[in-house]
Amino acid sequence: MNIYKNMKTKKVDVAIIGHGSAGISAYKAAIKHTKNIVVIEGGEYGTSCARNGCMPSKLLISGGNAAKAIRDAYSFGISTHKTEIDDQKVMERVRSLRDQFVSKITNHIENIPKTHKIQGFAKFLDNNTLQIGKDRKVTAKTIIIATGSTPRLLPNFSELGTLGITNEDVFEWKKLPQSVAIFGTGVIGMELGQALERLGVRVTIFGRSGNVGSFSDPDIQEAANHLYHGEIDIFPGAEIQEMVPERKKVHIRFTSMYGNELEQNFDYVLSAIGRIPNVKKLDLNKTSLDLDSRGMPVYDPESMQCGKSNIFIAGDANGEKSLLHEAVDEGTIAGKNAALFPKVSKGSRRVPIGIVFTEPEMAVVGKLYRELPKESFVVGSVDFSFDKRSQMLNKNRGKMNLYIDKKSKKLLGAEMIGPKTEHIAHLLSWAIGFHATLDQLLEMPFYHPTVEEAIRSALNNAKKKI
Amino acid sequence: MNIYKNMKTKKVDVAIIGHGSAGISAYKAAIKHTKNIVVIEGGEYGTSCARNGCMPSKLLISGGNAAKAIRDAYSFGISTHKTEIDDQKVMERVRSLRDQFVSKITNHIENIPKTHKIQGFAKFLDNNTLQIGKDRKVTAKTIIIATGSTPRLLPNFSELGTLGITNEDVFEWKKLPQSVAIFGTGVIGMELGQALERLGVRVTIFGRSGNVGSFSDPDIQEAANHLYHGEIDIFPGAEIQEMVPERKKVHIRFTSMYGNELEQNFDYVLSAIGRIPNVKKLDLNKTSLDLDSRGMPVYDPESMQCGKSNIFIAGDANGEKSLLHEAVDEGTIAGKNAALFPKVSKGSRRVPIGIVFTEPEMAVVGKLYRELPKESFVVGSVDFSFDKRSQMLNKNRGKMNLYIDKKSKKLLGAEMIGPKTEHIAHLLSWAIGFHATLDQLLEMPFYHPTVEEAIRSALNNAKKKI
């Protein structure tokens, strides 16, 4: 008996599963070539980025930094009495601007014709067929998986009940709690941890790797490991002995990297140990796709095509970096290729760039240190302690390493922790994009006094070594 | 009778008059080719930049911005009671860091051999001969004029006695005055004015042009004229009726652009109406140089050579922009050419960039609007009001125009007022340096959410118009 026989079936050229950043841009790219498209969304329309990712986290950070600026003013000769952080107002601002940003995206979604939208969870029946919920079916020439990702949870996290949270819960807080334990020293853990600490929450950050952030350059990693210890209580190599709910708090007993056993209670435990692509429930095993050991489809990052199949994957769903601008590019490439299938072309990908918006900021650009063949490059180094503009701003902490190819003298990549690195990272990523050599870079303007002059110091350092 | 007959005469290959930023780099460049050099300094060794220019002004601005950040925190939900600006501490920090920066430069000067230095004021006797003070003479194969510049004073300024000051006096203040009238809406007037206002000084800025800052793009100029009115008391088109010392204050009676007559008293009047190259006392008329109507030698900005002569001119002394990085480049070119004379080569000049470190910041990059032939380019525009990251930071004010060549599609220049424009300006100046086209620029990474995304908006706006 064929249980699918009586289902309503919709036939389309392109079916897009998921309508976040990647799905939206896939739709925009595909609609240029075919009007026969459907977007299937199981959860809320809109993006992780705007709803509970980059946007609200940067809003929370703005609040945290505003509070920190008051404390920092002292070093300039300016003091204040009694700083009051109105946490309700802080969170209202976060949500109100967040909701504005989200509404711009949902407005866009409302403009998509109703016939192009299906609400429900999709599962593959085969390479061309999706089942939506219980009683609907979509057959499609091509399918784009743009289902996004979900926070990875700590083992036994469910035992904590409502005391165990993720980044998605933080932005719904009407008031700030007194204390939070954060697990994870990556971008989410560090950004939220520092912002909450600056807003008066008692924060402890736990990690397992022993490192703060994740640099591949041991030199920059060491700088990062040191620099945050003056900023926040952080145990990057902690071993958790016990974590149990106890009188509406979570009791954590742990051993530090240096062997000390400590105990603390927290209002909440925030799991920020990574994100999991939302592909588990798609029944990918019903397709012909090659799946890797994690159950992830093997795909080409330049065409977003899974093998030689009619299925494409874009955005967080593919398990690469969770970055909005990459998700948008991937969606655009996937949308175009899905619409024009079987004609599949490679889209151009941008120079990689990653930024953690903490203070000091962390960033990586272009090729990572570990991706470069040893002996093939020199390292141009600068210590921000001696950078004049950074000294003026009282932010002269951090280090940057640039990687210059020995043969071509081209800038290949950089890793850094320091002040204003979101801007430095852009400048360097564009320089890589323009295939700039060391000597060409030294001919660019470096206005005085700006933090950009630190780049020149690093370039001059590399020049000496070449 | 030859009055110079009994003078001590020193014979050198290269004589450098002035030992600021341009003179130092001229020395460094020349010494690679000849050891027979002399540097003649009439005033203090060291640079305007470090002593009373870019460096201490940015230090004062850091203090002002720290105070402003406390007021701004309110919009994030954070309030303080009773902010105390300890102006002695503020000024001590300015001077102590300033002195550190200056000492690095004077250390360098101390390392110059004594035989290479002469203290005294130099005058030309002819193209190859300088008189130093009363009883010394230097004959040189080539001479570099690197005498810097001096603040231009208001007419009848001397009548104000010690109540009339320049930027050079500000950094020596042990305490801040209660009130200052600033004349000049250029970089010095605006930067010092806003910094002092933020540090609690009552400031009024007067201008004559009717404009704030000096943009050539009428669109950006209009934005600038509007934006500062919420920041500071500014009368960009004021007509001064009377300015007289009165009971240890300066009494100013003036008519605003809109015809209102106003009167105010100030502790000081600061003249910031421009700078004058220090060439008047050099007796340039004794040389064969072509002098323009202002008495300035005509020179080639790529070789720094005055006409076809053996005399070179570098830094503020040539009456171009007063910018450290340009002065250093000019000194380097002049030093090399002076040492290798008569072999004179053109040095490469950087993409022009100018930044005013106010809030919002102002910047110009590459070709100015007025330098571009009409109809040859399109304008890509962005209003920072709608930029998301700027909204998050509560700094979403300003506007930027990019100029894209219609034929080549290359970025030619930009004028802007807005947040983080010192970084945006660097990014754009490098893009111009790499001869980037509109489409290439749109392939560069724009991390989300950063203010750099506003560049993409402006590029997309230009793309629509092409």
Domain boundaries, chain B: 8-43+120-151+276-340, 157-273, 353-465
Q: pLDDT tens-digit profile of B58-69?
A: 999 999 999 999
Confidence of residue B110 (pLDDT cuts 50, 70, 90): confident
β B164-165/B311-313 pair status: unpaired
**Does residue B51 carry a pLDDT above 70?**
yes
Confidence (pLDDT) at B43 = 80
Q: Residue A70: which of B63, B78, B440 has the nearest Cβ?
A: B78
Tell me if domain B8-43+120-151+276-340 and domain B157-273 are identical in fold.
yes
Judged by a CB distance cut-off of 8 A, whether residue A386 touches chain B is no
Separation in Å, CA of B161 to nearest CA in chain A: 31
- Asked if A88's CB is within 8 angstroms of B77's CB, the reply is yes
The class level of CATH for B353-465 reads alpha beta
CATH topology for the A8-43+120-151+276-340 domain: FAD/NAD(P)-binding domain (3.50.50)
B96 neighbourhood in chain A, CB within 8 Å: none
DSSP per residue over B209-247, as a string? SS-SS--SSHHHHHHHHHHGGGTSEEETT-EEEEEEEET
Q: Find chain A residues with C-beta within 8 A of B66's C-beta.
A: 69, 72-73, 76, 78
Q: Which of the four pLDDT bands, split at 50, 70 and 90, describes residue B107?
A: confident
User: Does the CB of A89 have a partner CB in chain B at under 8 Å?
Assistant: yes
Q: What are the structure tokens assigned to B58, written together?
A: 């940015």
Please answer yes or no on whether B66 and A78 come within 8 Å at the CB atom: yes
pLDDT of residue B106: 84
Which pLDDT score, from 0 to 100, does residue A43 have?
Answer: 80
A62, A392, A439, best to mutate vs chain B, most B CBs in 10 Å? A392
Q: Which of A102, A357, A396, A448 is the best substitution to test chain B (most B C-beta atoms within 10 A)?
A: A448
Q: Which residue carries 């002569």 as its tokens? A: B309
Q: What is the mean pLDDT of chain B?
A: 95
Is pLDDT of B168 > 60?
yes
The DSSP code for B14 is E
Helix (H) or strand (E) holding A226: helix A218-227
pLDDT of the residue at A1: 46
Distance between CA A97 and CA A93 in Å, rounded? 6
Mutate to test the interface with A, among B57, B78, B424 (most CBs of A within 10 A): B78
Right CATH for B157-273 from 3.50.50.60, 3.30.559.10, 3.30.1950.10, 3.40.50.300 = 3.50.50.60
Residues of chain A below pLDDT 50: 1
Beta strands B37-41; B361-366: pairing state: unpaired
* Rg, chain B, Cα only: 24
Give the largest Cα separation in chain B, rounded: 82
A 50-79 residues inside an 8 A Cβ radius of B:
54-55, 58-59, 62-63, 66-67, 69-70, 72-73, 75-79
CB contact under 8 A, B90 and A83: no
Which of B49, B81, B392 lies at the smallest CB-CB distance from A58? B392
What is the DSSP track for A236-297?
A: TT-EEEEEEEETTEEEEEEE-TTS-EEEEEESEEEE-S-EEETTGGG-GGGSS--B-TTSPB
**Radius of gyration (C-alpha) of chain A in whole angstroms:** 24
Residue B1 has pLDDT above 60, yes or no: no
Taking residues B372-380, what's their average pLDDT? Answer: 97
pLDDT on residue A5: 59
Quote the CA–CA distance of B356 and B376 in Å, as a whole number. Answer: 28
Looking at the DSSP bridge assignments, the partners of residue B277 are: B149
- A102/B402 Cα distance (integer angstroms): 29
pLDDT on residue B3: 54
Residue A444 has its nearest CB partner, among B69, B350, B389, at B350
pLDDT at A108: 81
How far A76 CA sits from the closest chain B CA (Å)? 5
Q: Under an 8 A CB cutoff, do B444 and A450 touch?
A: no
What are the chain A neighbours of B450 within 8 Å (beta carbons)? 355, 422, 426
